Structures are given as C-alpha cells and as structure tokens.
C-alpha cells in the first residue's frame, strides 16, 4: 500500500457543531460538490441529534453508513466532545471521520487506537474560544491543525496494521527462529545497509530466509551487494 | 567509532538524569567530546538542569526530529558552557506523552531506524560518547534507546520493591537485546543511606550484598555505590536549580569509578577488534 491509497481511505474529517455542520477538513474534493455536501449535512444533522447530552462522550461511535450516497457508499465514525465550561453546557462538537465503506475491514482493527488518537488530539482544543452563539476563527485554525495531525496519525496506523513484518518491529523480531533472529538483530544495527560479503556463509544462508519473508532487500553498489533491512 | 551509554531505570526518581549529566560532564572535563540526548519523553528534566543558551521557543527537540523529515541532526544539537559537551533536549512532557500514546508501532520502528542512523552521524561529527538519559520502564521508546547502547547503566535506589522490579526488567530486556551487539551492562546503587549506627549498617550491607550477588548472576556488573548526598538533594529543592556542573563535584569519585570501568571495557573491546 502506498500513501496515495491511504489518502483515499480517509476521505474527510468534519467538525459538526450542535447547530449543524459548519466546518469540513477536505481531504478529497469529490465529496464536496454542492449536492454531496447537502447530503452529508442531512446525515450529519441526524447524527448530531443522536450525539447529545445523553450520548457517551469521548467514545468512538459507529461506523454508520451514509445511505444517501448509494452510488459510492461511505461510512463514518463519530466522536462527541462536550466543553465542560460554564455557559456552554448545551454545546457539543461531533467529529465525523468519513471513509469508503469498502475499507471497513481496515478500520475495524484500529478502532481502539483511533479513539485514543482522537482523545489525545482534542485535549489541546481551547473551548474558551466557543460561545453559545459563535466560535472564534482561531478555533477553526486549531481544528484545522488537529485534523491534519489526526489524518497523519490514521495513515500511520493503517500503514502499521499492514506492515507488521519488519526487522525494526521488535515484537516480530523476537519471534523469529534462533538464527534468523540473531541475523536480523545484527542487520538492524545497519539501517543504511551492510555489504553482503561481510557476512559468513552460514549467515548468507539464513539471509535467504529473511529475504523470502520480505525482511531485507538487496541492492547493487560500487562496493558490492548491499543488504538493506526492511 | 564512539560509545553510546544508555542510562535507565525501572522507575522514575532513581536519579538517571543527575547520573547522566554527572557522567557527561566528567567525561567532557577529561577531554572527550560528549553529547547527552534527553530520551525521557515522559518526564524530561535535562532542560531544568542545564539551561539552553537560546530561547526555549527556538529549540528543536529530539521528538521533533524523530518525526520530521526536514530537520537535520545539526538543528537539534545545543551547546553548553562546557565546550565539548552538547545536548539534545526533549520536548515538554505534555508533547512527549502524546508521542508515546499516539504514535503507532510503525512510527516507533521508523524512529528506531532514524535513531540508529543518527547515532552514526553523531560519531561522524566527532562525538566520542553519546549519553542517553532514557525513559524508565519498557516503552517502545526506552527499548529503542537500549538498542543503541554499547554500555548501559541501570540506576537503582536501594529499596526492596525497586530492586525486585529491576530483576524482572533486566531479564525481559536482556532476552530482547541478547546477541544484538557487544554490550556491557553496569548497575549503580544511587543515593545509598550513610550511617554510623551499627544496626543500620548491618541492615544496609546485608541488603546490598544480597542484591549484588543476584545482579551479578544476571550478567550485570555493579559499577559503583553513590552515597546519599545531603547537599545535592537540598539543592534539587530549589525552583531554579544551579548549573548542574556545581552539583556534580560531590559525585566525582563515584563518577570516576564508573568512567574507569567504561574506559576499561572500551579498551577491551578495541583489543577484541570490536
């Protein structure tokens, strides 16, 4: 998987205030033509009704299908935050995270981590910038930054759930067999590469097993074949 | 090729940072070029002991560097009042903590790769010693910092619960690090009570000798015993701590003992061709 595909996995992150959707962090413009925006708005308003004082706070909810877009099905997780400040008791923010329904399986294993990311990301949000009537433009700035960070983190999570096999993954490394683990530990110390001819014959035999598992790559150089740990 | 010394402990408050700074300043006063990395993302305290010489707002931290592609290692190296001692600071604890909880396993794998590459660059720049003030416990961050180590120093304050935890920790850590590269592990008793009372002396000696045997059985050499330092502990109560260089004077004999053991190990490794 490459970054471009991940970009398609997370389509958008939105902030929906209790008065309706008012801020989108647009990661993929296809959703944001006027018609799609309206469809999302209606779905979002329904969800805002669901997420209120009685709904759990700081818990990831969903994924909920967005049935209005039948030609290109999307789902989204939502996450509610309530500012615990005097005068703001009735305000709540709902953060929606939209993705293509076909990618549901990719998100399932990372839900706990996703929730942790959202909780820690919004800890820094300055709720004093919100009043019952309006929100300071600085809030949008803050949200923009937070959403950008969340997006990067989610991509990293999706990437990690697809790339457990790595010499630099210590949990994976210790579960390799004796000789493989020993050689992998040695190669790890040379992240920029190690010349093949510095390895013993036994090590070169073991190296083939690591190569079959995708844990090393071989590159030609002026000095000879270089082994790059993956 | 230089030597990386990782200072670690099983719990906070054991004196890792003071030991790191004392060791670093002792080595630098001996003429070695030394850099300390504050690798304790949970409770970074190096910044309180050795103040940066530029505004905090202008600092680039270790945490910034590990996750960023646009920072060079030179951007995070800070000078100190000692000409051959430099520092890489870690970010304030709230940022460090979010790093620990938010970053994926994949992120830490990349951080390990980057740390290993950086270690090589720091040697190329000319540092003889890299001293890592590690985070306590077994987070991915602290394990990464242990992987870099040629020499490790486990700092423990004498308390039965503390040493018991250290024993388990050592076994777990060693099973992972075993066979990775030649490494020498030392143990440091820190802030050991000083007493003239015969009964208290017996209790203390019995405790230390019992654990010395157990620790050496685990393959770790007891490097030194740092006695409780009344003045140092009092100075740490100050809001604004004096420059640590003044604090280190009282610890010099212990530090010299540690340095002596490290240099002997280094020479032995050179003779072995490592």
Q: What are phi and psi of B75, to 5 degrees?
A: -70, -20
Tens-place pLDDT, residues B236-260: 777 655 665 555 655 678 889 999 9
The two three-digit tokens of residue A78, written as one number: 């939502």
Minimum Cα–Cα distance from A167: chain B residue: B109
Instruction: Domain A170-229: give its CATH architecture.
Output: Orthogonal Bundle (1.10)
The conformation of residue B241, written as its DSSP 8-state character, comes to P
Q: State the Cα–Cα distance between residues A185 and A7, nearest whole angstrom.
A: 33
Q: What's residue A175's pLDDT?
A: 78
Minimum Cα–Cα distance from A161: chain B residue: B106
Q: Domain-by-domain residue ranges, chain B?
A: 3-265
- Cross-chain CB nearest to B113 (options A120, A185, A191): A191
Q: What's residue A67's pLDDT?
A: 63
Minimum Cα–Cα distance from B139: chain A residue: A170
Q: What's residue A30's pLDDT?
A: 47
| Residue found under tokens 């502990």 | B233
Q: What's residue A210's pLDDT?
A: 93
The conformation of residue B153, written as its DSSP 8-state character, comes to E
Q: Which of residues 160-219 of B touch A (CB under 8 A)?
A: 175-176, 179-181
| Distances B63 to A96, B32, B96, B113 between C-alpha atoms, Å | 29, 26, 7, 14
Q: What is the mean pLDDT of chain B?
A: 86
Q: With beta carbons under 8 A apart, name residues in chain A contacting B101.
A: 116, 120
Q: What's residue B246's pLDDT?
A: 54
Q: With beta carbons under 8 A apart, name residues in chain B contacting A192.
A: 117, 120
Does residue A174 have a pLDDT over 80? no
pTM: 0.69
CA-based angle B124:B127:B131, to the nearest 5?
125
- Cross-chain CB nearest to A163 (options B106, B140, B176): B106
A9-23, A56-70, B113-127, B217-231: which range is least confident on average? A9-23
DSSP for B18-48 reads HHHHHHHHHHHHTT--EEEEEE-SSS--HHH
Contact: B112, A168; criterion CB under 8 Å: yes
Q: How far is B205 from chain A (nearest CA, A)?
A: 38
Give which of B91, B92, B104 to mutate to test A binding, by max A Cβ within 10 Å: B104
Band of residue B12 on the pLDDT scale cut at 50, 70, 90:
confident
Which of these CATH numbers, 3.90.1150.10, 3.40.50.720, 3.30.70.1890, 3.40.50.300, describes B3-265? 3.40.50.300
Helix axis angle, B105-125 to B140-147, nearest 10°: 30
More confident: A150 or A164: A150
- Cross-chain CB nearest to B180 (options A113, A168, A189): A189
Q: With beta carbons under 8 A apart, name residues in chain B contacting A148.
A: none
The 10 Å Cβ neighbour count of residue A171 is 11
CB B59 within 8 A of CB B108: no
CB A36 within 8 A of CB A69: yes
Give which of A121, A146, A161, A168 to mutate to test B binding, by max B Cβ within 10 Å: A168
With a CB cutoff of 8 Å and minimum separation 6, the contacts of B265 are: B151, B184
Does residue B161 have a pLDDT over 50? yes
Does residue A7 have a pLDDT over 50? no
Contact: B109, A169; criterion CB under 8 Å: yes
Q: State the Cα–Cα distance between residues B117 and B65, nearest whole angstrom.
A: 12
Tens-place pLDDT, residues B226-242: 988 887 777 777 765 56
Smallest Cα–Cα separation from B147: which of B108, B110, B115, B186?
B115
Q: How far is A183 from chain B (nearest CA, A)?
A: 8
The conformation of residue B184, written as its DSSP 8-state character, comes to E
Q: State the Cα–Cα distance between residues A33 and A37, nearest whole angstrom.
A: 6
Percentage of chain B exceeding pLDDT 70? 91
A194-203, B34-43, B132-141: which range is least confident on average? B132-141
Percentage of chain B exceeding pLDDT 90? 47
Tens-place pLDDT, residues B113-123: 999 999 999 99
| Distances B39 to A168, B92, B122, B180, B262 between C-alpha atoms, Å | 18, 12, 15, 21, 21
A122-131, B40-49, B238-247: which range is least confident on average? B238-247
Minimum Cα–Cα distance from A187: chain B residue: B180
- Cross-chain CB nearest to A182 (options B104, B147, B179): B179
Q: What's residue B129's pLDDT?
A: 98
Band of residue A28 on the pLDDT scale cut at 50, 70, 90:
very low
Does residue A205 have a pLDDT over 80? yes
The two three-digit tokens of residue B228, written as one number: 């409780």
Half-sphere exposure of A183 (CA within 13 A, CB side): 25
Question: If you average pLDDT over residues A186-215, what whole number do you get?
Answer: 92
More confident: A135 or B64: B64
Smallest Cα–Cα separation from B24: which of B92, B68, B86?
B86
Q: What's residue A32's pLDDT?
A: 47
Band of residue A1 on the pLDDT scale cut at 50, 70, 90:
very low
Band of residue A49 on the pLDDT scale cut at 50, 70, 90:
low
Q: Domain-by-domain residue ranges, chain A?
A: 3-161, 170-229
ipTM for the complex shown: 0.78
Which of these CATH numbers, 2.60.120, 3.30.1490, 3.30.70, 3.30.450, describes A3-161? 3.30.450
More confident: B4 or B9: B4
| Distances A189 to A106, A152, A185, B8, B130 between C-alpha atoms, Å | 32, 28, 7, 20, 16
Q: Is the minimum CB–CB distance between B273 and chain A shorter than 8 Å?
A: no
């Amino acid at each position: 998987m490459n970054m471009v595909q991940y970009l398609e996995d997370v389509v958008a992150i939105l902030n929906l205030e209790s008065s309706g959707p008012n801020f989108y962090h647009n990661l993929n413009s296809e959703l944001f033509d006027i018609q799609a925006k309206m469809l999302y708005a209606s779905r979002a308003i329904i969800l805002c009704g669901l997420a209120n004082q009685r709904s759990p706070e700081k818990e990831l909810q969903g994924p909920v299908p967005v049935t209005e877009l039948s030609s290109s099905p999307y789902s989204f997780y939502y996450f509610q935050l309530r500012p615990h400040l005097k005068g703001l008791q009735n305000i709540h923010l709902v953060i929606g995270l939209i993705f293509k329904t076909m990618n549901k399986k990719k998100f399932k294993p990372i839900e706990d981590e996703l929730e942790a990311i959202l909780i820690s990301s919004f800890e820094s949000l300055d709720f004093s910038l919100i009043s019952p009537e309006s929100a300071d433009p600085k809030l949008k700035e803050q949200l923009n930054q937070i959403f950008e960070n969340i997006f990067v983190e989610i991509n990293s999570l999706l990437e990690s759930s697809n790339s457990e096999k790595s010499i630099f993954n210590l949990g994976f490394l210790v579960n390799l067999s004796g000789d493989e683990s020993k050689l992998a530990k040695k190669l790890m110390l040379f992240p920029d590469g190690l010349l093949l001819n510095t390895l013993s014959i036994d090590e070169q035999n073991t190296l083939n097993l690591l190569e079959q598992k995708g844990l090393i790559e071989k590159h030609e150089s002026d000095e000879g074949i270089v082994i790059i740990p993956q | 090729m230089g030597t990386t010394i990782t200072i670690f402990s099983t719990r906070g408050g054991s004196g890792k940072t003071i030991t790191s700074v004392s060791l670093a300043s002792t080595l630098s006063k001996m003429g070695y070029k030394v850099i300390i990395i504050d690798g304790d993302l949970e409770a970074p305290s190096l910044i309180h002991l050795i103040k940066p010489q530029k505004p905090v707002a202008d600092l680039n931290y270790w945490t910034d560097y590990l996750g960023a592609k646009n920072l060079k290692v030179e951007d995070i190296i800070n000078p100190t009042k000692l000409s051959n001692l430099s520092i890489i600071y870690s970010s304030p604890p709230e940022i460090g903590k979010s790093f620990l909880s938010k970053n994926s396993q994949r992120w830490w794998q990349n951080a390990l790769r980057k740390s290993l590459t950086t270690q090589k660059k720091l040697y190329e720049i000319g540092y003889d010693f890299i001293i890592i003030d590690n985070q306590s416990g077994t987070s991915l961050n602290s394990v990464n910092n242990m992987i870099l180590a040629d020499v490790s120093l486990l700092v423990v304050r004498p308390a039965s619960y503390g040493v018991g935890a250290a024993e388990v920790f050592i076994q777990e850590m060693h099973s992972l690090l075993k066979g990775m590269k030649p490494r020498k592990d030392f143990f440091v008793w820190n802030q050991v009570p000083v007493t003239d009372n015969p009964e208290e002396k017996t209790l203390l000696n019995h405790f230390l000798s019992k654990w010395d045997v157990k620790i050496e059985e685990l393959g770790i050499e007891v490097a030194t015993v740092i006695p409780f330092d009344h003045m140092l502990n009092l100075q740490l109560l100050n809001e604004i701590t004096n420059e640590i260089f003044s604090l280190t004077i009282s610890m010099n004999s212990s530090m010299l003992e540690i340095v002596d053991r490290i240099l002997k190990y280094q020479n032995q490794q050179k003779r072995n061709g490592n």
